[in-house]
Amino acid sequence: MGGANLDLRQAELEGPDVTITVLSVMGGANLIVPEGVDVDLTGFSIMGGRGYRRGRQSLPPGAPVVRVRAFSIMGGVSVVTKR
C-alpha cells in the first residue's frame, strides 16, 4: 500500500543481462533506465497495469538488457527511459 521509485541511470550493471522482480499490492513502482539499455517487461496485473516508454535513441548492438518481471494487484509498474 505504498510506492517505490528506482532510478538506474547511475547504476553500473555487472553483466549484459540484469533481472529485477517487482511485486506491488495496492501501490505502484516506477523504474527509470538510461538510454542505450533495452528493457524486457513481463509479468501480470490484476486491477492494475504495467507499461514501458522507450526512449528516442536507437539501441546499439549488444546493448545491455534489464529484464523487469512485474506482478501487480490493484497497482501498477511503469518503466521509462530517460537521459
Q: pLDDT, tens digit, for every residue of 23-68? A: 999 999 999 999 999 999 999 999 999 999 998 888 989 899 999 9
- DSSP single-letter state for residue 65: E
Entry pTM: 0.88
The answer to whether 30 and 24 have CB atoms below 8 angstroms apart is: no
Q: Supply angle C-alpha 10, 15, 20, rounded to 5.
A: 70
- DSSP single-letter state for residue 59: P
